[in-house]
Chain A
Amino acid sequence: MKIAVCIKRVPDTEMRFTIAPDGKSIESAGLKYEISTFDEYAIEAALRLNEAQGGGEITVVGLGPAGLGELLRRGLSMGADKAIHLTADEVPVDGFAIAQALATALRDGGYDLILFGRNATDTGHGTVGPMVAQLLGLPCVTAITHLAINDGSGTAQRALEGATETVTFPLPAVLSIDEGLGRPRIPSLKGIMAAKKKPLDEQPAQLGPISLTLESLAPPPERPAGRIVGEGAAAVPELVRLLREEAKVL
Chain B
Amino acid sequence: MADIFVFAETRGGALRQVALETVAAARQAADALGGELHAMVAGAPGIGQVAESLGQHGADVVLTVEDAGLGRYSPEVAAATAARRIKDSGYRVALFAASAEGRDLAPRVAAILGVSMASDVTEFTVDGDAFTVKHPAYTGKAIATLKLTGTPAVISVRPGAYSATEATRSARIEAVQPAIDPASARVKVTEIGAKTAKVDLAEAPVIVVGGRGLQEAGNFALVEDLAAAFGNAAVGATRAVTDDGWRDPADQIGQTGRVVSPTLYVGVGVSGAIQHLAGMRSSNVIVAINKDKDAPIFKVADYGIVGDLFEVVPKLTEEVKAAKARN
Contact = CB atoms under 8 A, between A and B. Distances in A.
B117 A243 contact: no
Interface string B110-123: 11100111111000
A95 interface: yes
Contacts of A180: 249
Given A212-B116, A242-B303, A163 B192 contact: yes
A183 B202 CA distance: 25
Nearest to A225: B299
B161 interface: no
Interface in B105-147: 106-108, 110-112, 115-120, 132, 135-147
B149 to A, nearest CB: 5
Given A95-B107, A127-B107, A143-B100, A211 B115 contact: yes
Contact of B249 (A179, A211, A226, A244): A179
A87 B313 CA distance: 54
Contacts of B230: 250
B286 A126 contact: no
Contact of B189 (A125, A133, A165, A233): A165
A250 B191 CA distance: 37
A24 B136 CA distance: 13
B153 to A, nearest CB: 9
A188 B199 CA distance: 43
A219 B287 CA distance: 22
A191 B256 CA distance: 27
Secondary structure dominating the interface of A: mixed
Interface residues of B, number: 97
Interface size class of A (residues with CB under 8 A): 35 or more
B187 A166 contact: no
Nearest to A218: B143
Nearest to A136: B111
A161 B75 CA distance: 17
Contact of A122 (B79, B116, B137): B137
Given A95-B116, A121-B255, A213 B146 contact: yes
Nearest to B273: A14
Contacts of A249: 206, 263-264, 284-285
Interface stretch (A48-56, A69-77, A167-175): A167-175
Nearest to A235: B305
15 contacts: A26-B142, A122-B138, A124-B119, A125-B118, A130-B108, A142-B104, A160-B101, A160-B192, A166-B193, A167-B190, A169-B188, A214-B144, A235-B312, A243-B285, A249-B264
Interface of B: 11, 16, 72-73, 75-76, 79, 99-101, 103-104, 106-108, 110-112, 115-120, 132, 135-150, 159, 186-195, 198-203, 206, 230, 249-250, 252, 255-257, 263-264, 274-275, 281-282, 284-288, 293, 298-308, 311-312, 315-316, 319-320, 323-324
Interface of A: 11, 13-14, 17, 19, 26, 37-38, 93-97, 99, 121-131, 133-135, 139-143, 145, 155, 158-170, 179-180, 210-220, 223-233, 235-237, 239-240, 242-244, 247, 249-250
